[in-house]
Chain A
Amino acid sequence: MRDLSAARCLPLVSASTVLHALPPATRYVLRGGAEVRAAAESAVGCGIPARACRATLEGDRAALWLGPDEWLLIAPEPPPGGLAAGLSEALEGLAHSLVDVSHRQSALALSGPQATTLLAAGCPLDLDTSAFPVGMCTRTMLAKAEVVLWRTGPQVFRVEVWRSFVAYVSQFLGEAARGII
């Protein structure tokens, strides 16, 4: 029997000087109450934010607040040993939902002094650092696609996009860049 466990085929990205695809990652959607958040932290190896629309990043692990009972957990791929087992052990007996969405979405990095200008072509949020500081994240719309937008630096955004929207989002940002970049 052939082993295909390394035979991944990633969605195509229209990359440019300001936009590129980030490597595959392990992703979980964690749902539950405050006790779930607290219990999962040690297993994730990263603080899980209680504050709305904030992300924590510790080493290669990240946790993004997406709702009052919803977090997106991001870890490297392949997942560090014991992550899945540690999570289910930590959450044992607590009302929660943990769903693997590693392949559901891809991550794009958008960077540069024009990053917010390009996003503003399709994202209705205020992206000024006073309103959307480094470390802020949210689910939002970018033109006709739903994305999770996370500001990882003053001029750097991580954009989590559902797989089949990656081509659209990267083309849209490319079109927005014409005449600007």
Chain B
Amino acid sequence: MNKPQPSIFGSVYFVLMAIFLYLPIFILIVFSFNDSTVLAFPLKGFTLDWYRQLGNAHELLISARNSVWVGVLSSILAVLLGSLAAIAMTKRHMPGRNMFLSLASVPLVMPSIVLGVAMLVFFRKVLGLDLNMWLIAAAHVLISIPSTILIVMARLADFSYNLEEAAMDLGANYWMTLIKVTLPISFPALVAAFLTAFTTSFDEYAMTTLITGTDTTLPVYLYSLLRFPRRLPVAVAMGSIIMIASAILVVLAEWLRRWGTTRTPKEERV
């Protein structure tokens, strides 16, 4: 690779863009310490009250717990389903491969509102189910399948064939190869896919709210708070904690995705 030339315009632009991207987040964090129930300028003074009140905000904590539950369950399932499919997709002779990949990409490009109302109608009218958290988790599995497949496929693209072949030369059958070679190779991708799926699920509002029954997830609860501004600062405090936690998660996921991968830049697939 060529030695990159320094670019003053590029650097300045990047810094400005970073400020633009982080300004709203910074403002929220500032407001989580603002001594006023009204989220508006001018700022009133410093307080830790909103963070203290977090412990008593039962509904908020319950919805956060629900979100963690939905996130963990749906991410585990999405990684399980998606990685198995991705392993099969690395084989070019797989019949219907392109058809499957097209179908699996649909949740990625389907507008959330369409997906949400379609599921709402299907669950309520056709299956006659009461809306519950299992259904939310199932729906989150669906929207995380595409990213899982992409991440695991990208990881396996370089490795699996030669190593798998070696295992087979040594007499391993397919399932054996899968367990002893393919899955360990894809482990970093599995963790990265899990984290990606979890952050997606944890933040999903537009579709989730349509299929939410009595138990709410955190984003759904946060949205309902917008109508009761008095309790909003506590939610903003919680949001600040979550934002910093998810930033750490993202860095971890990225780091794992690159870990041991030589062709780093080429793997930047969304």
Q: Do A and B bind each other?
A: no
- CB within 8 Å of A: which residues of B? none
